Amino acid sequence: MDIILWIAQNIFVTPAILLGLIVLVGLLLQKKGPSQVVSGTFKTIIGFLIINAGANVIVGSLNIFEPMWKEVFNLESSALGEFMGQEAFNNQFGSMVALAMTLGFLINVILARFTKAKYIYLTGHMMFWTTMIFAGILVNSVGTDVSFWGAVIFLAVILGIYWTVQPAVTQPIMRRITGNDNIALGHTSASVALLGALGGKLLGNKDNDSEKLQLPKNLEFLRDSNVITALTMIILFVIGAVVVTVKQTPGSQELMASAGEQNFIVYSIIQSFTFAAGIAVVLMGVRMFIGELVPAFKGIATKIVPGSKPALDVPILFPYAPNAVVLGFLGAFVGAMIWLVIIGNTVAYVFVPTMIVLFFHGAAAGVFGNATGGVRGALLGGFLTSTIVAWGQYFMVRSFIGNTIPDTAMWAADSDMFILGPIVSFLGQLFF
Amino acid sequence: MKILTVCGLGQGTSLILKMNVESVLQSLGVSDADVEHTDVSSASSMNADYIITSNELAQNLEDHSAKIIIVNNYFDEDEIKQALETEFS
């Protein structure tokens, strides 16, 4: 009994070790060689630990971004408030997230085996963030004393159903876009993609296909996520910094004092690069452990579910309509700037427009919108994406995840999570 | 031998490409390849013998010392096989 307790207290509560063990079992099941087993397991553990480091960098930059824009909009100036934050949340609930993700995947495999929805969800990084955000919502709504296994099973069931149903719902339009039935979309942009398709159908013009357009070569840099993230944050930070510098209010002077000897605008530009750097660090960590986890998952799935179709990341859509991808992003970007101003002036919330979310979700909505409504459909799809993301972030941070991980919700939560978040919160209160 | 598979974010798509490349290499009888997936900015500063990526991203990696192999549909094992066959068989 002492041994079990010792294992529970020392190993089970460390999510990095737990994930390492899950990958270890997956690799052993696939009869990989010893060098692959060791490197796969180690990279999983290191990768998970890297996430905490990057998350802290992002929060550091957001802690300047938020008061800066509050000052721009003349809002009550306050920091992000009291909350747990990603690192503390990981330390306390990371094992819950790791187990819920793994069990949720197994439920997805079982549902695919026994129902008509033969889709296996393989977009690992989105599986991770969805589980993380839903766990943050659950703990936020029922409290930190939530029963460990109750929460694991609750989350796994919701996720397993979501990962099976989501690809099935988007598949009719996917068939139209890809021209076959071999691959499905497995991504949290399903809701905005469907909205884009609906909007395109109602207001677009299908004959004006975006792929007939010639887009300028200069937009190629949009394909590098580090560059667009830094660029957009520079624009926003510099606008904020200039306004703060011009104002002579106590709030703006306090902000400028935080730069110390450095010029405030230069300081702000460095903050925007720091934000992009933080995201790059987190993504590197996620890449390291998802890169080991997903092949292990795939090996299990293909053995148990013959004839299953993989549900994959958004870029599978890109080759079918590359122009619609850019149009969707442009629609989302313009929309995000409009909502930043409107939300700031009405409900006094500073929207953090995360380019990764706007780009990939805007792209999905753009391609779906183009399929039903051409150029206008693609742009509209992008705009609808920014609408869901901006208002979703506001409601999420203020109402559903404010005590746990609002910092993560500001950049890693997105369309489907915003739509499903209130339902998770409601069901959590119902069951716990 | 070190091979990088590259996409814009370095998360989902390049991972699928990595798995497909590994299965194609296996069918070609290549067993000494270490395939890693990454994003385009990281790739430009990483050592590799080969980089497999799409036409658009390849332009950002032109100066890289690795040999670049173009695959446009990361999910099409036949295209990947065609692209790799000339190098590895």
Encode pLDDT of B70-84 as tens digits: 998 888 888 999 999
User: Residue A74's pLDDT is what?
Assistant: 81
Instruction: State which residue of chain A sits closest to B57, comparing Cα positions.
Output: A223
Model confidence at A79: pLDDT above 60: no
Smallest CA–CA distance, residue A152 to chain B, in Å, is 25
Residue of B16, B59, B72 lying closest to A319 (CB–CB): B72
Interface-testing mutation among B4, B5, B6, B15, with chain A (most A C-beta atoms within 10 A): B15
A312/B contact by beta carbon, under 8 A: yes
- Distance separating alpha carbons of residues A308 and A130, to the nearest angstrom: 22
> Are the Cβ atoms of A291 and B7 closer than 8 angstroms?
no
- Distance separating alpha carbons of residues A348 and A351, to the nearest angstrom: 9
Model confidence at A4: pLDDT above 80: no
- Distance separating alpha carbons of residues A352 and A389, to the nearest angstrom: 10
Task: Give CA A389 to chain center in angstroms.
Answer: 11
User: Count of residues for chain B?
Assistant: 89
In one letter, which amino acid is A430?
L
Residues 171-190 of A with CB under 8 A from B: 183
Catalytic residue among B3, B4, B6, B7: B7
- Tokens encoding A339: 């909502």
> Are the Cβ atoms of A226 and B38 closer than 8 angstroms?
no
Interface A-B, measured as beta-carbon pairs within 8 A, has a size of 76
B7 assigned to active site:
yes
User: Residue A220's pLDDT is what?
Assistant: 65
**Predicted model pTM:** 0.86
User: Residue A257's pLDDT is what?
Assistant: 85
Instruction: State which residue of chain B sits closest to A279, comparing Cα positions.
Output: B9
Q: What is the mean pLDDT of residues A60-75?
A: 85
Contacts of A363 (CB under 8 A, 6+ apart): A189, A314, A315, A317, A318, A324, A325, A328, A329
- Using alpha carbons, select from A170, A109, A149, A167 the residue that is nearest to residue A304: A109
Model confidence at B25: pLDDT above 80: yes
Q: What is the mean pLDDT of residues A162-187?
A: 93
Q: How many CB atoms lie within 10 A of CB A431?
A: 12
Residue of B37, B40, B42 lying closest to A223 (CB–CB): B40
Tens-digit pLDDT profile for residues A88-101: 999 899 999 999 99
Q: What is the mean pLDDT of residues B1-27?
A: 89
- Answer yes or no: are the C-beta atoms of A167 and A311 closer than 8 Å: yes
- Beta strands at B67-70 and A119-121: parallel, antiparallel or unpaired: unpaired
User: Residue A51's pLDDT is what?
Assistant: 85
Tens-digit pLDDT profile for residues A106-128: 999 999 999 999 999 989 889 99
Q: Helices (DSSP H) in B33-75: which residue ranges?
A: 40-43, 55-58
H/E run at residue B73: none
Most confidently modeled range among A133-142, A323-332, A405-414:
A133-142
> Are the Cβ atoms of A284 and B42 closer than 8 angstroms?
yes
User: Residue A260's pLDDT is what?
Assistant: 84
User: Residue A138's pLDDT is what?
Assistant: 97
Instruction: State which residue of chain B sits closest to A227, comparing Cα positions.
Output: B41
A46/B contact by beta carbon, under 8 A: no
Tens-digit pLDDT profile for residues B12-21: 889 989 999 9
Q: Which residues face B39 on adjacent strands?
A: B7
- Answer yes or no: are the C-beta atoms of A161 and A103 closer than 8 Å: no
Smallest CA–CA distance, residue A136 to chain B, in Å, is 22
* Burial group, residue B70, by CB count within 10 angstroms (0-12, 13-18, 19+): middle
Q: What is the mean pLDDT of residues A147-155?
A: 95
Residue of A227, A287, A314 lying closest to B10 (CB–CB): A287
C-alpha distances (whole Å) from B73 to each of A174, A316, B25 are: 16, 8, 17
- Distance separating alpha carbons of residues B87 and B76, to the nearest angstrom: 18
A420/B contact by beta carbon, under 8 A: no
pLDDT band at A266 (very low <50, low <70, confident <90, very high): very high
